[in-house]
């Protein structure tokens, strides 16, 4: 990508919003596949479960949640840029003829732009509401793990650490009812980007 176009796009919250929206639409499509595959794997008899089909459905669920998490990440970064456009910083490389040959985003707001920590981004963007903060923070921490490894790889990058349930949401909020918690949060993010 040409340097000036890169800087223009990276510092424009509209580009972050468009990417967030497309990731959300992709997440919805994969969610529909998850539901179909899940139903294929579970028969009407309680103990008659197709293990391979069940694992396929679980992987599709993680893939959908990965896309939802990436959607939130792009929306949150767009909000941060919209709220304080001067906070985005670029590192550029200039050749001997004074031409800018490359650029990269080095910082945005108080954090590095490359963070996938959705809880940290939401806090910095100021989108957490006191009445829902604990539950949303828990699902954002879960989605951070999804974005970092669970939605991409069959195993974590290391054996220790990882997401720990905090008990602020019921377990079903991380599986079948994930969208009941996450969709309203995404709706609020998109509304914030529009205003």
- Alpha-carbon 151 to chain mean position: 11
User: Could you give the CA distance from residue 12 to residue 137 in angstroms, rounded to a whole number?
Assistant: 26
The residue segments making up the domain with residue 85 are 3-194
Would you state the pLDDT for residue 115? 81
Residue 75: HSE in the Cβ half-sphere, 13 Å Cα cutoff: 27
CA distance 120 to 25: 24
- The CA distance from 58 to 41, in Å, is 10
Q: What crossing angle do the helices spanning 133-145 and 51-83 adopt, rounded to 10°?
A: 120
Q: What secondary structure does DSSP assign to 122-160, as a single string?
A: HHHHT---TTTHHHHHHHHHHHHHIIIIITT-SS-SSSS
pLDDT in tens, the chain (195 residues): 888 888 888 889 999 999 999 999 999 999 999 999 888 877 655 666 677 888 899 999 999 999 999 999 999 999 999 998 888 888 889 999 988 889 888 776 666 556 889 999 999 899 998 887 889 999 999 999 999 988 888 888 788 767 888 989 999 999 989 999 999 999 999 999 998
pLDDT at 121: 92
Q: What is the pLDDT of residue 47?
A: 64
Q: Is 162 left (phi over 0), alpha (psi -120 to 50) or beta?
A: left
DSSP 96: T
- What confidence score (pLDDT) does residue 184 get? 95
């Amino acid at each position: 990508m040409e340097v000036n176009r890169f800087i223009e796009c990276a510092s424009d919250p509209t580009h972050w919003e468009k990417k967030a929206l497309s990731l959300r639409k992709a997440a919805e499509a994969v969610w529909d596949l998850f539901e179909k595959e899940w139903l294929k794997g579970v028969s009407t008899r309680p103990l008659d479960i197709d293990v391979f089909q069940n694992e396929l459905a679980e992987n599709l669920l993680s893939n959908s949640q990965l896309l939802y998490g990436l959607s939130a990440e792009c929306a949150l970064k767009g909000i941060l840029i919209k709220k304080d456009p001067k906070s985005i910083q670029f590192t550029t490389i200039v050749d001997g003829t004074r031409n800018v040959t490359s650029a990269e985003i080095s910082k945005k707001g108080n954090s590095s732009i490359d963070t996938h920590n959705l809880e940290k981004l939401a806090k910095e963007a100021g989108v957490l509401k006191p009445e829902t903060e604990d539950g949303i923070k828990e699902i954002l921490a879960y989605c951070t793990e999804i974005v970092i490894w669970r939605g991409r790889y069959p195993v974590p990058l290391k054996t220790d650490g990882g997401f720990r349930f905090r008990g602020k949401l019921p377990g079903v909020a991380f599986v079948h009812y994930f969208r009941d918690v996450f969709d309203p949060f995404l709706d609020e993010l998109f509304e914030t980007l529009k205003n």
